Amino acid sequence: MSTFTLPDLGEGLQEAEIVSWHVAEGDHVVVDQPLVAVETEKAVVEVPSPQAGHVARLLVKAGERVKVGAPLLEFEEGRHAETGTVVGDLSGPAVTQPAVAVRATPAVRARARELGVDLARVTPTGPAGTISLVDVQAAAVRPAASPGNLRGARRTMAANMAQAWRAVAHATLHDEADIEAWRPGEDLTCRLVRALIAGCNAEPALNASFDAAALSLRDNSKIDLGLAVDSPEGLFVPVLRDVAAAGSAEWRREIDVFKHAVQGRSLTPAELRSPTITLSNFGSIAGQHSSLIVMPPQVAILGAGRVAAKAVRTADDSVRLHRALPLSLTFDHRAITGGMAARFLRAVVADLESA
């Protein structure tokens, strides 16, 4: 037997969770055929086969977490062991079984990952042996969520949030912006991105990275903005790179691509790596103010609440209702002073209140 271990998937990741197997024991596989889907730091990655051959034994089950270098499966040796093209076999005619491939559309594969269904064990009922959404739903058995069985993105989020809560000295400032002057149909998220850039220009320290061991701030030349995206599987934070070098049209395109990738669980580890500051538009669901969590080495996260009507005294001394956007800025008080945070937030409010 030869053993295939979990390879180094890059990005400094040390372990992964088995999402689903694409092969079963006894299957014949070819080089680069997807063997298994694994989830690392919220991204689902397909692991290909390094060789051709027959699968003798699967060594881990869907839902288990394994370390890099841990054994995943065993390949048969002897007449079934293949590492390339078979030229000939002097011992007699070889019996070669056809490769077993799962037939399913990307949408069906994404739904199977969401439900924890191993497509290799689903009986297809669609045309030409294709697995349908109905087949996946029929095979799904989802346990009720509880603190003892958090998996995948929820498990990663729980660990990261607990670590950040212990490490960071959190402090929060609240304010609101009068956005009555906005044009109809204004893109709220893009306006928030623009305002956050204005805040970073006014107070660059809030876009810095904090080295807790050395008690030092490292300036970041670019604003790599983490955008918190909610999903049934947990919180995802894809990163908009160098946002100050782009404009609202490009931001909107990237945001839409990321939202689609979150729904399809197709984000890559690179798309989640190393934000310098984070934006959370939680008000699109509910809530006005919040005390948020800063993920080190970042030092700040800006939150936007639900837009609400507010009574405002105008220049002619009358009282009118204006739309007000609540803001919450949580920062790491080890690295950022209250004055720095207030100047950042003042610049954010000023940009949002401009037409």
Per-residue pLDDT of the chain (355 residues; tens, 9 = 90+): 789 998 877 656 678 888 889 888 888 888 888 899 888 766 777 888 888 888 999 999 988 888 888 999 999 875 444 443 333 333 344 333 333 457 777 677 877 877 778 887 787 777 667 787 777 777 775 444 444 567 777 877 888 899 899 999 999 999 999 999 999 999 999 999 999 999 999 999 999 999 998 999 999 999 999 999 998 888 899 999 999 999 999 999 999 999 999 988 888 888 999 999 999 999 999 999 999 999 999 999 999 999 999 999 988 889 999 999 999 999 999 999 999 999 999 999 999 999 7
Asked if residue 333 and residue 214 are part of one domain, the reply reads: yes
Q: Please give the tally of structural domains in the chain.
A: 2
Q: Nearest to residue 231, comparing CAs of 114, 351, 118?
A: 114
pLDDT at 141: 52
> What's the CATH number where 303 sits?
3.30.559.10
pLDDT at 101: 58
Asked if residue 197 and residue 345 are part of one domain, the reply reads: yes
Q: Which of 146, 177, 203 is the last residue of a domain?
A: 146
Asked if residue 94 and residue 184 are part of one domain, the reply reads: no
pLDDT at 38: 85
Asked if residue 82 and residue 46 are part of one domain, the reply reads: yes
DSSP state of 99: P
Asked if residue 170 and residue 135 are part of one domain, the reply reads: no
Asked if residue 134 and residue 86 are part of one domain, the reply reads: yes
Asked if residue 207 and residue 119 are part of one domain, the reply reads: no
Tokens encoding 346? 């003042």
pLDDT at 84: 38
Q: Nearest to residue 309, comparing CAs of 298, 320, 299?
A: 320
Q: Which of 123, 146, 169 is the last residue of a domain?
A: 146
Residues 304 and 329 sit within 8 Å (Cβ to Cβ) = no
Helix pair angle (338-353, 188-202), 10° resolution: 140
Asked if residue 187 and residue 142 are part of one domain, the reply reads: no
pLDDT at 93: 40
Helix pair angle (106-115, 248-264), 10° resolution: 60
Asked if residue 201 and residue 91 are part of one domain, the reply reads: no
Asked if residue 278 and residue 138 are part of one domain, the reply reads: no
> What's the CATH number where 89 sits?
2.40.50.100
Asked if residue 117 and residue 174 are part of one domain, the reply reads: no
Q: Which of 146, 169, 188 is the last residue of a domain?
A: 146
**Containing domain of residue 76, as a range?**
2-146
Quick one: how many helices (H) and strands (E) in the chain? 6, 19
